[in-house]
Amino acid sequence: MPDTAAGGGRDTLVAAVDWGGTWIRVAAVSAGRVVRKDRRAKPPSLAEQYTTVAGMVLRTTSGLAQAPAAVGVGLAGVVQDGVVGTALNLGFTDGTDVAAALRPHLPLPTYLLNDAQATALGVAARWPHGTTCVLTMGTGIGGAVIRDGSLEPGLGGAGDFGHVVIDAGGPHCPCGGTGCLEALVSGRVLAEAANVLAEQGSSPLLAARARGGRMLHAGDLRDAAEHGDDRAAGVLDRSAAALAAGLRTIVATHDPHHIVLAGAPLAPDTWFGRAVRTHWDRTRPRWARTQLHHVGDDEDAALLGAASYALGRSTGTRPGS
């Protein structure tokens, strides 16, 4: 593979991977812009995930003017010293060296970081001063902290807001705790709630959609609420209150200038996004001056951040770390 990293210019081609609990997204990135991208559903087995990621990277970067110099992988899990500390939604064993596991399929320098940290790096330049906290909502809840444009990872998991405790007597969380934000509200939890409402027959719209054995997802719950379904709206409203409580904890611990909400479910024009903001406005600390923002999936922040991280690591400049 030609060493196109020589010189390490910003227009060096880098491959980026956003490895989530439901989707795997891959992009070819140059000069801070996505030049080509692909998205596939995450296969169930870990072996298939490795070959899928490698195949997507090779296909997405083939035929371009230059070969990729490096691969940046943002992964839905805690990453410590380049290895997986834990990735509850992907099935990795703690301590997995993902870069080493990918190497037989993908002979490129590969750099791993947490996916919410990748998202944070992707938007860091928008708020170069002060503290910015990022909270992502997909299959799970993630987060990251940026201070003066640089990532503050702690020992790897700083800002993993999915595991702030909202209800100490609440449901069990795979992290070992109880009542974590992620155990109360996440794409997975909302999907489970949608399927329960459909089974109970208490939501006609959800029951109709589940006919034929289709498994429902969080978007079905949102659709039901937007069509006036009180049960679905009740679930989403309680979840939004939990998420707003999580925002209070972020303010209490970081008092950030900005909180960036990332992910389609948190968009301000959705039923859930509006409910989160309503609860936040009602319950925010009186002194809090933190501003809320939203970053949509179409902005590719996680991919751009993973690419930036890989470029920095491969050239020794380590942006945002």
Residues at the interface with Zn ion (CB under 5 A): 163, 173, 175, 177, 180
Dihedral, CA of residue 60, residue 64, residue 66 and residue 71, to nearest 10: -10
- How near is the Cβ of 246 to Zn ion at its closest, in Å? 12
The type of residue at 92 is: F
Q: Which of 234, 266, 14, 247 is nearest to 133 (CA)?
A: 247
- How near is the Cβ of 123 to Zn ion at its closest, in Å? 25
- How near is the Cβ of 244 to Zn ion at its closest, in Å? 18
- How near is the Cβ of 142 to Zn ion at its closest, in Å? 12
**Residue showing tokens 């902005």:** 299
Looking at the Cβ atoms of 186 and 315, the one nearer to Zn ion is 186
- How near is the Cβ of 143 to Zn ion at its closest, in Å? 12
Q: Maximum CA pair distance of the chain?
A: 62
| Parallel, antiparallel or unpaired: strands 141-147 and 150-151 | antiparallel
Residue 123 is inside which H or E element, if any? Answer: helix 115-123
Question: Are the CB atoms for 265 and 222 separated by under 8 Å?
Answer: yes
- How near is the Cβ of 193 to Zn ion at its closest, in Å? 18
Looking at the Cβ atoms of 55 and 170, the one nearer to Zn ion is 170
Looking at the Cβ atoms of 166 and 198, the one nearer to Zn ion is 166
Looking at the Cβ atoms of 82 and 177, the one nearer to Zn ion is 177
- How near is the Cβ of 177 to Zn ion at its closest, in Å? 4
Looking at the Cβ atoms of 141 and 295, the one nearer to Zn ion is 141
Structure tokens at 105: 């399929």
- 153-177 burial string, b = 16+ CB within 10 Å, else e? beebbbbbbbbbbbeeebeebebee
- How near is the Cβ of 179 to Zn ion at its closest, in Å? 8
Residues 156, 158, 34: CA angle, nearest 5 degrees: 75
The type of residue at 288 is: A
Distance in angstroms (rounded) separating the CA atoms of residues 57 and 161: 29
Q: Which of 79, 74, 33 is nearest to 53 (CA)?
A: 74
Looking at the Cβ atoms of 34 and 175, the one nearer to Zn ion is 175
Looking at the Cβ atoms of 102 and 164, the one nearer to Zn ion is 164
* Helix, strand, or coil (residue 30): strand
Looking at the Cβ atoms of 163 and 209, the one nearer to Zn ion is 163
The type of residue at 195 is: N
